[in-house]
Structure 1
Amino acid sequence: MPLYKTVKKSDEETLIIKKSKFISYVSPVKNEVEANHFIEMIRKKHWDATHNCYAYVIGENSHIQKASDDGEPSGTAGKPMLEVLKKEGVLNTVVVVTRYFGGILLGAGGLIRAYSQATTEGLQKAGIVERELHTEILLDVDYTWIGKLENELYNKGYPVKNVEYAETVRFTILAKYMFEQQLEKFLVDVTNGQAVINRGATLYVDKLLI
């Protein structure tokens, strides 16, 4: 996936609603196996909880979606959690909301609001990022080009990942996936063809949204 939204890191948040404790656990995952492993980990950690409800969205076009009420009234936990994930547009993300019952019934509407709120606040705590695929462009050039290259790259907004100084200078520049040729042509023009250009690894670059 060249571009998608997900959570920045694994994190947790706790809410107390009418004496019930809701603990939301959020994590980025690569596939359904990782999601199920995360769910089982939380279940083992909170084996004594009243409920461990979950939801996840995985894959391009959100083609894998799953939710569980884990004993709560049907449609009051997993589904609203899943709806929050879909509303935020995050992919490859799993949420588990652990509930310890506090003795006061919330009703169907109260449960939907509680699980939705727990999921929303969990996502905010973990941070939502826009993850975009980039390719490293490796530029080897003579030292005399350093100043001009730094200025031109800065003006065009191309991110420089690293600069190495040896017999020549190597710039590692990040190009958005499928736009590598555009950057390579730009570098050829800037250096009058006096640079050696190769492609390196592909990697994701995160932009924090919340």
Structure 2
Amino acid sequence: MLQIEDVLRDRGSRYAVSGGAVQGRAGADAFVAELKRVKKFAKATHNTWACVFSDLGPVKADDGEAGAGAVILKMLEREGLYDHIVVVTRWYGGVHLGGDRFAHVVTAVRAYFAALHSAQSR
């Protein structure tokens, strides 16, 4: 699992991003369940994720953050990353972010891709 715990903060909301290789929907569900075993992730407002499975195609879960899963999914497809889950976690800070929340999802996923490519090139 690759994880960046404090990607950004805005108006009290905090974002983290996690990801890793998974096999099938059961693998994705197990990844999210494992992430939520950590108390702070279990208490997060949203754990939005997406994955493009080589056998099932695209799957996303918005977890109450409507539209955020589609943003992650589109970025995974553009990256050509299959059988790899990316989870963007948000702890709500009390102020609605409007459309900025999508920009923050993009920032989190870009940070994840950069860290993943860095880890792969070592």
- Measured in 2, the distance between the counterparts of 1:41 and 1:101 equals 21
Q: How far apart are 1:66 and its partner, in Å?
A: 0.9
- Measured in 2, the distance between the counterparts of 1:120 and 1:58 equals 20
Select the structure that is richer in strand.
1
Amino acid at match of 2:78: K
- Work out which of the two has the higher radius of gyration on C-alpha atoms and give 1 or 2: 1
Partner deviation per Cα, 1:34-93 (whole Å, 9 max, x = no partner): 121001111232111111111111116xx4211111112x21x11101111111111111
Amino acid at match of 1:59: S
**Aligned match of 1:188:** none
TM-score (norm 1): 0.51
Point out which structure has higher relative CO (alpha carbons under 8 A, 6+ apart).
Answer: 2
Q: How do 1:26-105 and structure 2 match up within 5 A? A: 26-45=19-38, 46-59=41-54, 63-72=56-65, 74-75=66-67, 77-105=68-96
Contact 1:52–1:98 (CA under 8 A) maintained in structure 2:
yes
TM-score (norm 2): 0.84
Contact 1:55–1:95 (CA under 8 A) maintained in structure 2:
yes
- Measured in 2, the distance between the counterparts of 1:86 and 1:120 equals 13
Select the structure that is richer in helix.
2
Superposed CA RMSD in Å reads: 2.1
- Measured in 2, the distance between the counterparts of 1:93 and 1:127 equals 13
- Measured in 1, the distance between the counterparts of 2:18 and 2:62 equals 15
Q: How far apart are 1:104 and its partner, in Å?
A: 2.4
Contact 2:53–2:59 (CA under 8 A) maintained in structure 1:
no
Partner deviation per Cα, 1:116-153 (whole Å, 9 max, x = no partner): 21112112212279xxxxxxxxxxxxxxxxxxxxxxxx
2:9 to 12, 17, 22: 17
Tell me the number of residue pairs that the alignment of Structure 1 and Structure 2 aligns. 118
| Paired residue secondary structure (1:79) | helix
Distance 1:128 1:26, change over 3 A: farther
Q: How do 1:33-182 and structure 2 match up within 5 A? A: 33-45=26-38, 46-59=41-54, 63-72=56-65, 74-75=66-67, 77-107=68-98, 109-127=99-117
Contact 2:47–2:89 (CA under 8 A) maintained in structure 1:
yes
Aligned-pair identity (%): 27
Amino acid at match of 1:36: D
- Measured in 1, the distance between the counterparts of 2:29 and 2:14 equals 23
